[in-house]
Structure 1
Amino acid sequence: MIPKTHPTWLFDSSPIEDTNGDGDRAVRFLRALKHPKSKATGNAFQVDPVFERLVRRIYGPRDANGNRIVKRVPILLPRGNRKTTLCAALALLHTLGPERVPSGEAVAGAADRKQAALVYKEAAGIIRMDKRLISASKLLDSRYKITSKYHGSTFESLSSDGKTQHGRTPSLIICDELHSWQTLDLWDALESSIVKSDPLVILASTAGAGREHIAWVQYEQARRIARGEEVNPTVLPVLFEASADEDWRDERVWFRVNPGLSCNPPYQSLSAMRDQAKQAESVPSTKANFLQYNLNVWADNSVSPFVDMGVYDGGADQIDFDKLKSEPCWMGIDLSQVYDMTCIVACWKDGKGGYIVRPWFFLPKEQLARRETAGYREWVDRKFIEESPGAAIDYEFFHGRLVEICGELNVQQIGVDPKGANPTLNALMNKGLPVFQFSQANGSMCPAVHELERAIVAGQFSHGGNPVLRWCFENVRTVDTADGYKRFHKGKSEHKIDGAIAAAMAVKLAFDSDNPGRAIDDPNFDFSKFMNL
């Protein structure tokens, strides 16, 4: 189903208001430019119809005072659709062209210095193709800065990891790949300048990953406006993205999401996209990249996703857990420190080199009303989360439930995160249960994460489709250790990963049971030699 956010107005013949002729003036300026890579006669800058209509829509409509109505343009374009070229041309429009302001500033922000160089080099390359522009401007390559000799207006490309930039009053702000900015100091500084200079803000990006970043907030607002759920004429959403339920192999989807494929000559290689898609059918990481960067499907709730959630969902078939009660199982427990979620995961070996898991989640009852992220209330109603009494973890209730669960299963070993675990360790040991401290240090968790990842990617991880467990896996970020291995991390505090941690612990214990001498609690065991199994 075609997303309602698709900018159909870019392709129809609907009239675009041009109150004072500013839209036409901007288009004429762009058409007068030259580009070093252009294949047109005289290296003419290629202004294709879709981008011409975009420029007219940004600069044409004006209010009664002659001010531009559009103030912010969130653009989502897949890779290869020349958004950097478009941004560079708009930067010149505001520095050397008819949108310039005497002594005005145009700035482009990027994730790092290398990325910042791209927009500047694109703009500088255009200038160097035209003697008139060369004579009218001064290029300072070391600072990625362009200055108009006649009007004092400037364009500068900045990196988000550089020095703070407070005090600027730009007339144009370009944010390149906002989702990849690791720090938001530059974003905060540029946002604070808006009240002073009322600039045009261009947010140009491919799809990102995760919902904890400011980029998600910006583009989600754009989606609401595009769908008609929010009215704001100052924001012009230009969102080329596929929906998650579309067939990503369908070339009609490719052409709809990538307007450059239909241009003459096309911006991208269709044969190269076909090759990528073919590879993506068998390589999960390639598929994830194809969806995100070629079709602008915003990735799940992780900035550095642990696994492709589509691959994870392959283990969602219904499981008859009653048949497993007498089979040996291993448990991992991730305890709440005070008032957060607590999770138990039991793991069985499936006899084929894989694993079957079942989770139990617990949340203090008085915390439930304060939870806004995810579907806590629905999960409680559907018995996927159990409420424990009070506003904080009730150890007596939890230990009672844990003993009940263990009493129904053939538990071989129980690993518990030792942080704050003394009450649980003592309670279980007093019941004669095989419990021990499962260290969360790299030497323990990296091998656990490695084996869990292997099982999921191999299609050997059955979980029955538990929605809370899926949410936890969706939230997982991975970070590389100094040794080059992976371990779990998370974004915002409300993005829980407890179930994924407990599952990794349980899987590791089950794996160790077939590998004598690899006991997870042997502090002298060298796990590194097993990391590439």
Structure 2
Amino acid sequence: MYKLMLDGQISVGSPLTLAITTAGFNINSPCYEQYEFAKKILSGVVEKESLFIYIAEMDEDDDIWDYKNWAKANPLLLWNEDNSYNMEKVKDMSEKAIDAKEKGGQELINFMTKSLNVWVKYSGAGYVDLDKFKECESDLTLEDFKGQECILGIDLSSGGDLTSIALVFKFGDYYYIYSHSFMPILRLEEHEKTDEAPYRMWARQGYLTLTEGVFGLKTDYKYIISHLKKLIEDYNLVITACGYDGHNANAFLADLDFLNCDLVEIVQSAKSLNDATVDLQLSIQALQVKYDKHNDLLKWSFANAKTTQNSFGEIKVMKETNTARIDVVYSVIDAWKLAMAIDNTERYNAETDIEEWLEIMKEKGGEKDGNN
């Protein structure tokens, strides 16, 4: 239709065509094709002086949950004339953001496309091959990793939902994943009905703690901290790094100083998480991941995880519905991202050491030849 309208004005002097749209989730559409063309013009790859382009969008690596970034995609809505933020409108949009993050699926897609002007490709495909994931089951428990180094991942809920922590241990060519989750005790019955999940049984089995603090209705951050401290003490663990989702973490961070390690905010964007998400997926496929075979809460969370793709082909996990909780997966990926970074650093250092050793041997060989 757009092309027909342009062609229909071929005989008109100084024709003017206006096209206004927001992003969507069909990257095979004419709109996305025009968007890509416009980006090439703006970057100077293509020259077309007859086309005026204005795209209000966030930068590629921006955190989609930071309201300061929302203004880039909504300048008329969120900026006042004096360049200050319109906090009333920010509050309205924040409510949409909370719904999108908690419910996931179509709610998240709608928020990203219509509120943030981000092109999204939603595949709805399962994150892991469940048959392969089952093969990763192990008799190993945290007891087998006493005194070991590990990386911590934390996913905090915004209210009274599931909060999860994960520990990632490397042993040889394998990784062991430990997870534990928390839920306010007075939200238990509600979530058992809405999520259709046996939380009570998982609590009895020791994979979920039902917290009573903050009136048993909200996430008890202080209890989670005390649980972490006891875990580290009981198993003599050494936390080398901690990755966390910055959303809802402000009141929590100061209490993590006892870890004595780097605290790294993990930006929850496809660009930021793609490498870790793909690497964990491939590691599971290669059976390099091990976990406690009795941890059904972890299994359930991975079974719920779907993948979504941005317009650059980068992926992240998401839940299809608001009750298909994947908090454990989020915490594992936060830790996995740091594990990858540490592995890459160690690999680089090892390669550098080898190169230096070879150079020394070469020099020594030259000296020997010279002496002869």
Does TM, scored on the shorter chain, surpass 0.5?
Answer: yes
Question: Which residue in the other structure is 2:298 paired with?
Answer: 469
Distance 2:343 2:124 in 1: 34
Tell me if structure 2 keeps the 8 A contact 1:346–1:503. yes
Deviations along 1:401-426, whole A, 9 cap, x unmatched?
A: 12222333111001111001012211
Distance 2:306 2:190 in 1: 24
Regions of 4+ moved over 6 Å? none
Whether 2:212 is the aligned partner of 1:392: answer no
Match of 2:181 among 361, 364, 378: 361
Aligned length: 220
Post-superposition shift, 1:431?
5.7
Task: Show structure 1 runs of 5+ residues with no match.
Answer: 1-211, 214-301, 519-533
Whether 2:345 is the aligned partner of 1:516: answer yes
Distance 1:491 1:320 in 2: 30
Q: Residue type matched to 2:177 in 1? A: V
Match of 1:383 among 206, 217, 225: 206
Deviations along 1:204-252, whole A, 9 cap, x unmatched?
A: xxxxxxxx99xxxxxxxxxxxxxxxxxxxxxxxxxxxxxxxxxxxxxxx
Deviations along 1:144-178, whole A, 9 cap, x unmatched?
A: xxxxxxxxxxxxxxxxxxxxxxxxxxxxxxxxxxx
SS at match of 2:127: coil
SS at match of 2:165: strand
Tell me if structure 2 keeps the 8 A contact 1:330–1:510. yes
Deviates more, 1:505-514 or 1:429-438: 429-438
Tell me if structure 1 keeps the 8 A contact 2:156–2:163. yes
- Spell out the pairing of 1:52-201 with structure 2 (5 A cutoff): none
Match of 1:410 among 238, 242, 255: 238
Post-superposition shift, 1:433?
4.4
Match of 1:306 among 127, 141, 152: 127
Match of 1:374 among 182, 194, 197: 197
Tell me if structure 1 keeps the 8 A contact 2:124–2:308. no
Match of 1:344 among 161, 165, 177: 165
CA change 1:496–1:489 in 2 (3 A) is same
CA change 1:459–1:430 in 2 (3 A) is closer
Question: Which residue in the other structure is 1:458 paired with?
Answer: 286
Match of 2:262 among 434, 441, 444: 434
Tell me if structure 2 keeps the 8 A contact 1:360–1:385. yes
Distance 2:124 2:311 in 1: 20
Question: Which residue in the other structure is 2:309 paired with?
Answer: 480
Tell me if structure 2 keeps the 8 A contact 1:325–1:410. no
Tell me if structure 1 keeps the 8 A contact 2:239–2:259. no
Q: Which structure has the highest helix share of the two?
A: 2
Q: Residue type matched to 1:507 in 2? A: W
Post-superposition shift, 1:350?
2.3
Match of 1:504 among 321, 333, 336: 333
Post-superposition shift, 1:486?
1.6
Post-superposition shift, 1:393?
0.5
Post-superposition shift, 1:319?
0.2
Deviations along 1:45-93, whole A, 9 cap, x unmatched?
A: xxxxxxxxxxxxxxxxxxxxxxxxxxxxxxxxxxxxxxxxxxxxxxxxx
Post-superposition shift, 1:517?
9.5
Distance 2:331 2:278 in 1: 14
Deviations along 1:5-41, whole A, 9 cap, x unmatched?
A: xxxxxxxxxxxxxxxxxxxxxxxxxxxxxxxxxxxxx
Distance 1:433 1:399 in 2: 15
SS at match of 2:125: coil
Distance 1:367 1:428 in 2: 26
Distance 1:508 1:427 in 2: 22
Tell me if structure 1 keeps the 8 A contact 2:240–2:262. yes
Distance 1:424 1:517 in 2: 30
Question: Which residue in the other structure is 1:171 paired with?
Answer: none
Tell me if structure 2 keeps the 8 A contact 1:355–1:507. no
Post-superposition shift, 1:436?
2.5
CA change 1:431–1:313 in 2 (3 A) is closer
Distance 1:406 1:468 in 2: 21
- Output the aligned Cα RMSD: 2.4
CA change 1:383–1:435 in 2 (3 A) is same
Deviations along 1:363-412, whole A, 9 cap, x unmatched?
A: 11001011221111111122221111111111211111122223331110
Distance 1:320 1:362 in 2: 19
Distance 2:341 2:203 in 1: 34
Distance 1:473 1:383 in 2: 18
Question: Which residue in the other structure is 1:334 paired with?
Answer: 155
SS at match of 1:360: strand
Using structure 1 for the length normalisation, give the TM-score.
0.39
Question: Which has the larger Rg?
Answer: 1
Q: Residue type matched to 1:442 in 2? A: A
Post-superposition shift, 1:303?
4.1
Tell me if structure 2 keeps the 8 A contact 1:403–1:428. no
Q: Which structure would you say has the larger RCO, counting Cα contacts within 8 Å and 6 or more residues apart?
A: 2
Tell me if structure 2 keeps the 8 A contact 1:425–1:436. no
Using structure 2 for the length normalisation, give the TM-score.
0.56
SS at match of 1:304: strand
Q: Residue type matched to 2:321 in 1? A: K
Distance 2:210 2:226 in 1: 13
Q: Residue type matched to 2:186 in 1? A: E
Distance 1:517 1:350 in 2: 14
